[in-house]
Structures are given as C-alpha cells and as structure tokens.
Structure 1
Amino acid sequence: MANRQTEEKITALYERLSRDDDLTGDSNSILNQKRYLESYAAQRGYTNIVHYTDDGWSGGNFDRPAWKRLVADIEAGKVAHLLCKDLSRIGRNYLQTGFYTEVMFRQNGVHFVAVANNIDSEEQDSGEFAPFLNIMNEWYLRDQSKKVSAAYRVKGKAGKPTTNNAIYGYKKDPEDKDHWLVDEEAAAVVRRIFRLAVEGHGPHEIAKILTREKVECPAYYLARNGRGCRKNTVDTSRPYDWYGFTVSSMLTKPEYMGHTVNFRSSKKSYRDKRVKNDPSDWLIFENTHEAIVDPETWQLAQQVKRTVRRTDTTGIANPLTGLVFCADCGAKMYNHRGKRKKAGREYSVDFYSCSTYTLTFERETQMCSSHTVSTKALNALILETICTTASYAIQNKEEFIQKVRSISQVRQQ
C-alpha cells in the first residue's frame, strides 16, 4: 500500500539559473540541468517526473514562482522525491537552505537528493558536509553581490542607465544597449498624458479617459512587444487597465525630458529588498537621449499636479484653483460658487475672497480685509490680458519668443 502511494506521488526535478550563474558557462544552463536530472531519475527508476524551473532568479531570493509552487506541492503531500543538481540550486542563503533540506523536507517525508554534491537524505553519512556547502554557497553569493554592486555604481556614475528596461515611451537602441530611442507609438500616449495634465485633468481622471478609449496600458503594451520586467506575468485579459498611480508616476519622471536618472533605489545588503531613495540622492544626467516632452511642459505639469482640484456642487473643477492670490497679503483666494436665497428668491454666486480674511473674520483679531472679486470680472480681465499678449506676440514675434524662453529658464532654476 505504501509503495503504491509513493508511486502515485511525483518526482520533482528543480532547476534554477540566475544571471550570475550564466557567467559560469553552459554546465549550469536550464537545459543541461534538466537532462542531468532526468538521466539520474531514469537510472534510479523514479517515475511521474515534474519539472519546477526558475530561470533568471537569484539564489538569495526564495520568493521564486516555481519554488513557491514546489513548496506548496510538498506541503500538500504530492512529492515523493526531490532532485536538484547541487545545493546552490535550492538557494544561497545557508539558513533558509538548511531549513528546507534539514527540517521541512524531512517533516513532509520527501526524499531529497543533490546529485553533484552526493547528498542523499536516505543515506545518513552523505549530509555531513551539507552545512559547510550551504555556507560556501552564501559566501559566493555575497562575493558576487559586492562585484555586481561595484559595477552598478561605476555604470551609474558614468551616466549610463542602471535600469534593465527602458521606461514606457522608449526602447533600447539595438546598436547600443545603454542608449534609449523614442518608441513613437508609446511616446504619443506619453505626450497626450502630459497635455491632459497641463489642461487640468488629474491622474485618476486621465486614467479613466485612457481606459475608456481602450488605450493599452504600459505593462500590456511592453509585454506585447516582448519588453518590460512583467512580460511573462502581465494579465493579458485586461489590456486597458490604467490606474491613477501609473499616470502620476509617469508625470514625475525627468527621463521624459531626455535625462538619465540613476540610483532611484538602493539596498544595504544583498539580503535586503530595495528601498526608494530620496530624490536628493538621485544622480541625473541631462540630455542623454531624445526628449518626448519639452522642459516647459514637464515643469508646468508638476505645477498643475501639485494644485489640489476639487469639484463642488456644480460637479466642475475650477480651472483657476491655486492660481488667484490676494494683492494685499499674498495668500490664496477662495472661490465661492453655488446657489443662495434672498427674500424668497434664489440666485447664483461666483466670486473670490481672501483666504486670510475668510479664516480669521470670526476671530477677535481679523487679518487682511473683506475685499472680493467676481469670477465674471476675473475672466474678463484674463481674456483681455490674453488678447493683449496675443496681439503683442503677432507684432513682435522674435522678441516675444525670447521673453518666453527667459521666463522659462528662470522658473526651471
């Protein structure tokens, strides 16, 4: 009965390869690992073989998809034998690797074999050196981490992109992997996002517009073109899912002005997860690739993004929110609009008042004064200014362009 239950269980063959392992040659390739383990299983008469493969995953990270699936199957009692090429394939963290090989596998009745290390859990003497092998594997990972980190710093300080993938709107130059080219199809969407932001649309509103118009979201678009870090995991059933967070993140990227931004994140140890760095710690190299958005539009988008826009009872956000200031105290002016009643008659109001006075008029000591300006008068003044400016620009084109450029340079500084 016990033999039949064992036969019904699977023989798990686990393979793993990281970028660092690639440097050691073909002997560690996924294909060779599979052939090696299949040959060993056939010699021992193990049947019902199932492969669990993590390609491109570090041995210091146990949050690997195939490994997690294997652990779940072991805990469910589905695995009789587990074969791997050597202990470093299981992992390079000696504490976690030891937990699995010495505790978890035994508790679940799994026969474990690290073929190249001659470790077999059913042969008591074969595992005597396993702890030392685990320590050596971790030392290897630590050494590799130091080398990779040093190369990463050198590359980043040289102004080359440290990210493995170009951001949405760009693609890697096939002739120079450290140079980005504009991806015109995606760049058109990026330009539209900035244009909508400058017009006063918030990130969540922009996301709704793009979803409604069935514009492919960045993750799906990149995956469809075989690019991006999620090309193998993206949910292809939801290609038009845009989120406000995605739009908001795109609007803050200086890369769209043609700059390279390095060291956005860091980690103290190879065991730690990366954490975001403060923007003051970023290293920015200007004009390293073609810009999708000009600096004036990018800066304006940041300014508009910082302005809080709320819809009132009319359901319409005020386009002048955060742009009207008191001439006396310099504070922002509040917009008041809606319906009021007087002598049984309902009438509309729409005016601005000084926020300093509004917030203090009920106090014993009032600040500023109760002066107001109607939105109608303000709009007329704005229209008059636009007409005057347009007339001047038409008559003095070169002088007007020079003044606009000077003002833009002052704002950027």
Structure 2
Amino acid sequence: MQSYAVYVRVSTDRDEQISSVENQVDICRNWLERNEFVWDETSVYKDEGISGTLFVDRPAIQQILEKAKQKLINVVIFKSISRLARDLKDSLEIREVFLAHGVRIISVEEGYDSTKAGKNDMAFELWSLFSAQYSRTLSSSISAALAAKVRRGEHIGKVPYGYNRVNQLLEINEDEAEVVRLIYNLYNNGYGYKNITNELNRLGFKPKNNQVWQVTSVQRLIQNAIYKGTFILNQFTNVKIGGRKKQIRNSSEKWILFPNHHPSIIDDETWNQANQKKIKSRKIRITPWNEFRDLAKCSECHSNMIIVQSFRTKKNGERTEWKYLKCSQYRRAGKHGCVNHVPISYEDFRGFMTKLLMEKGKDVLLNIQKSAETNQLKKCKKLEQTLKQNEQRKKKLLDLYLDQLIEKEEFEKKRKEVEETISQTKKELFVLNQTETVQTNIQNIKDAFKEIEKSNQDLHHVFKTLIKEIVIHPEGTIDVTYTFEEPQ
C-alpha cells in the first residue's frame, strides 16, 4: 500500500486565489483520485504564512522529510515546485532527501514524476531555477513599486519618532519633534548617547514603542537622515545565512536618496554637525564573544545578560582588561530600564558553570536513558492533554455557533486559533514520539558532557545542549534549568 503526503504552502506575500491552501489541496486530491489513491485528509501538511525561501522555518516540510527518513511515506505530492521551495539549493536538497529514501515526487502543475525521470533529471532543476528566478523578479518588482511610492512623497515602513503618518505622508508631531531637537542639541553640546538616554528617561519622555529610551534608540535617531527630510531607500538587504534571513546594511553607493521628501525637524547644518562628530570619533569595537548568549537572563526583566568589556591603563603603560556580565536592558537604559547587578567576572562565571556541569554529569550519565524517557513521557502527556483540551474547545465553539450564541466572524477567528494550536501540538507530538529523537538527544547530551573539559575551545554549543536557561539575580546568585532534567 502506498502512503503519501500532500504538501501545501502559502507564503507571507498576499497570494493569488490559485495559490490558496484550498486550491492546492484540491489540485493534489484530484491527481491522487485520478491515479487510484484513496483520499486521506490527515495526509495534508500545511505551511501557512511562511516564505518559500525560509527552508528551516517550515515545520510541515521538516515533518514530511522526517517521515520520509522513517520510511512512513513513499509518495510526496504538491501543486508546483514553487510551492515546494523558491530557493534553488533548498529545492534540490529536498528532492535528494526524498529520492535517497525511495520517496516518489509528484509536481502536478509541471507534470513532474520522479519515477518517470531519468538519471540526468534536468527538468526538475530547470523548474527549480525558474522558481528561484521568479522570487528574485518578484523582489525587484516590489522594490520598483516601493521606489515609485517614495517618489510620490509617500512614507513606507515604520513611522519614525517625531512624525505621524497622514494619508501615507509624514507630518511632524510637534510634541515628539521637540524631543528630537533636544536630543540633537544635547549631542552637539557634548553629551554622549548614554547621558542623553538617562536625561530623557529622567524627564519622563516616552519613545514611540517602548516604555523607556535606550542607548541604541538614541544613537539610531541621531544617525537617521529622516530628520533632515531625506528618505533613504535600499539601505538594507535581506541575505540568507544558514537557511535563515538576516538583514545587513548595504554600502552607501547602493542607497537611493530622496532629499526634501518630507518636512524636516532638524536643519542640514545641525544634522551634519552631529554626524561629522560621529565619523571623527568612530572607534572599531569588537564585541566580546559570549558563550552563554541567549541562555543567561536577568531575573528582574528577563533580558539577556551580555558581556561588558573594560580596561585600566597604569602610568607605566601596562594595560589590564577584564570582562563582566551585565543586564542588557540596564546597559541600554540605565536604572530606568532595570537594576544593576553586582559585577560578575565572565571568566569566573564560565569556570563556575563548567565545574557545575562536570559534577552534574557524573550522576546524569548513569541515569540519562531513564531520565530522558521519563521526560519524554511527561512532555507527551502534557501535549496530549493540550490536544484533548483544544479538540473539546473546537467542539464547544461549533455548538455555540450552531446555537447562534456567537457570530460567524468570531467563530471563524477562534476556530482558526484552535486549529493552529492543534496542528502545532500534533507536530510536536510526532517528533517526540520518534525513538530516534530520544536516542539522538541522549547522544548529544553525552557528547556535550565529554567536551566540557576542553576549556580552551568555544563551548557555546555544549552549554546550549545541556542548559535551558540561567537566571542571574542582582546580588549574584543564579538558578540553572537543565535540558536533561524536568523542572521542579
């Protein structure tokens, strides 16, 4: 018996009706029934609202690939290759995984069937290339459309502090504009970013989207040409690194400048004075490498604990450097953002954590199999309970709608939320129920413990494997949650 998976995807762009989820499912179902397959609704895997250029962020395709490796399916069908992926490398990689595990690939729109293709399968590669080119062409078309809007004086993107958007045009918000002028005045009179931040918070001024001002928001405001009436297009580009998109700043030669695009808050002379000062005093700073990034958190605001580097130079020229941990929110906004922690030397903290893990490992490695299976069972039970609760909630919603106790719009909205939760829960359950998943996690933990003693190398991946979170309190005490233990 042939078991199959139907893959459908709707990107973050506003798709045409022909590419809607329902339409893709209907097209695949029609092909399956014409080819004597029995239709099974549970074999449909959906990635909704996810770009085809982000391979690693697509849970449904990852789930299908896992099923292929487990020999649980032998056919995968999708409407078109553009639905499978819009990145050439990803498209070919997905195909290779399926073919390596004996899975037949069907693309209905292109009439592609891997069982009929020869060894030199150029057709799939060409269609994948066209799909990737379409993505780039679409991006260029969008950029051209945005440029046309900017030429008409319209503002695209977030509304900057100091302005309101009225009929797509920027208009000065006089209350906020006074704060902008104060910031430039303070900076041009010798105040640094941190002192300006503290002064704004002391005076009680609020930024647009935060409770307090931060050093980075002040810095970006001063450097933003928007305040002298200039809009810059193509200042940033999205690039794909490790399967994920990352925004980088383009070189100034690629920028498209639109002077006098909107009313200015700061005159050219004031803006140039502030930014000439920035250029003259620019120093290259290398951010200290933090092996506990995204793991160590502040107990008060739950922001990341970052490394602050400092130094002292003696009269004889001898330089002493040290690194210590600090709450990132306090670092950016001072006492208005969070509280200051007692200084914790990064080297001492790292030494303490490695010693703690080595001692922990002696006991853990003896009982890791039983512990991992117990934790897996607990997680599965929680997920099953969540699934049951949402299935019941879905049924109650339908009863309320049929009894005319809620309107159709409210019913559809709440039903969609419940169905998304059910879908995500099922995916998590599927992964947890794989025996290979448990064994892989166990082996990763064993390997991580073995590497701890290699103190001369970067241990970020080790800490990430063994630790869920480290909470650091202002007085210096810490709470550690491990990946191999169920929290008490």
Question: Could you tell me the TM-score, scaled by structure 1's length?
Answer: 0.48
Return the structure number with greater relative CO, CA threshold 8 A, min gap 6: 2
Greater Rg over alpha carbons, structure = 1
Query: Which is richer in helix?
Result: 2
